[in-house]
Amino acid sequence: MKKILLLAILSLSIETASSQWMQSLVDVGVNNMNIAHYFGESNLYFYGDINNQLLLSEDNGKSFININHPLGSSRFRITTYNDTTNILTPQGSFVLEPAFFYISTNKGTSWDKKYFYDSNGDTLTSISTILFTHIWENGKGLLITREKNNFTKNFVYLSQNFGTTWDTSFECNFSYQNSFIDPSIMEDRLVFRSALFEQKIFVLSDYGKTTEEIILNSNDPSRSLNSMAFKDSLNGLFLIGGDIYKTLDGGKTLFYTDHPDVNIARLSYAIPFSDSSVGFYYGSSISSGGFYSIDDSDSWVMSETKGISYQIFKNSEIGIASIRNSTSEPFLPHYFKGNLLSMNNISRSNNFIKTYPNPSNGSFTIELEESAKIQIYTTTGTLVYSGILEPGVQNISLPSLTSGLYILKAYSANFQQFSRIIVE
């Protein structure tokens, strides 16, 4: 069983165990700073929705300096592959010349304009709009564009050398430009909402070489996929309408997850912590906020962290957030002071069930702390076992199961828990 993450209750106004959010020092005027990123070993970045100001911190969010950049008020995406080198790409804007980006090798002190070239040294001239760009630390890059003279076609270009050249163009069927906002970015994988108001995700794996469209199987297909959060390629959360669903297989199977009766607005990115991760949601920005575990055990932790527009953690001690205290105030950068995992007011996720051996040949043992209903599903959602088990040690034998991954759901009036079992 994976180590279970302990989640802390945060407070903006009351210091609990000396862990809290503190307002960062910035050298710019009052503006809404709505998007945060962490890159490299020490650099943290914010950029805002007013004139797209770019802020850089080198002290874990305690202070930010304004970075002059050549894109002015145009939307952009920043990518870095070490602490000094940044790539700035215009996003969503109509390209009036061959597509370009800017690169800085001195933390934004100066910027050099570069064009998107293919391996023959020719510029990519067919691009009408740049929808999304990303470059991983190993130099592999992905560029999604809309083509000139045919706005219904979107193409993917791949780079192997930090964006020096781009090749391997293929068409992808994203039907709405907003599908490219805030994707879940993993080690070699991107997950987008594939169309607004539809329950679809579009997955690009192996740094964009493999694509897959997945239709989500929620309880109500008429509701919208509002947002999502992944901790890795298999484990994630989806907010559909006002309901949260959990996946253990990359979105192919969804499980409805009970949650407190709060006004959930959206999910944000998963927060990585060494060998464990959490996803978190925030509600209406001034009135509610909280955390939710997406490990094998499910546990809600209601937080006093209110007014957050965007939040991201490097680890349990270093994080930045865009926070405001009232609807009349702007969102401003804050840094986290303390340790998220060592605060007094903590909610522990309990292991109500243990399953072993795992993998197995279809015969395995279940240990329960209390009686519960057990259901086992295939990754396509087919129920292959259902039964009520008493507390203690129980043996399950399912010799007809074929080799593969299965989802085990255990629940009672007091708990609900999911886990993966593998049959070899």
Report yes or no: 372 and 416 within 8 Å, Cβ to Cβ.
no
pLDDT for position 383: 86
C-alpha distances (whole Å) from 115 to each of 67, 70, 122, 171, 401 are 22, 15, 9, 21, 54
pLDDT for position 364: 93
Report yes or no: 259 and 253 within 8 Å, Cβ to Cβ.
no
Domain 353-423 has CATH 3.40.50.300: no
Report yes or no: 422 and 358 within 8 Å, Cβ to Cβ.
yes
Q: Work out the burial of residue 180: count CB atoms within 10 Å of its CB; fewer than 13 is exposed, 13-18 middle, 19 or more buried.
A: buried
Give Cα 237 to chain centroid, integer Å: 9
Distance CA 402, CA 388 (A): 23
Residue 54 token pair = 């770019």
Mapped onto helix, strand or coil, the DSSP state of residue 322 is: strand
Topology classification of domain 7-347: Methylamine Dehydrogenase; Chain H (2.130.10)
Mapped onto helix, strand or coil, the DSSP state of residue 381 is: coil
Strands 363-368, 290-293: pairing kind = unpaired
Cβ neighbour number for residue 415 with a 10 Å cutoff: 19
C-alpha distances (whole Å) from 82 to each of 64, 89, 270, 418 are 18, 17, 22, 38
Backbone angles phi, psi at 271, to 5 degrees: -105, 120
357 prior amide bond cis, ω within 30? yes
Which residues are within 8 A (CB) of 57 and not within 5 positions of it... i.e. 6 or more apart? Answer: 24, 43, 44, 45, 46, 63, 64, 65, 320, 333, 335
Label residue 71 left, alpha or beta by phi (over 0 means left) and psi (-120 to 50 means alpha).
Answer: alpha
* Domain residue ranges of the chain, discontinuous segments joined by +: 7-347, 353-423
- With a cut of 70, which residues of the chain have pLDDT below it? 1-19, 29-31, 36-42, 49-51, 92-96, 150-152, 173-182, 194-197, 258-306, 316, 339-352, 380, 413-416
pLDDT in tens, 268-291: 655 554 445 555 555 545 555 555
AA letter at 109: T
Going by the DSSP 8-state scheme, the letter that residue 170 receives in this structure is E
The pTM for the full model equals 0.70
pLDDT for position 72: 81
pLDDT for position 107: 85
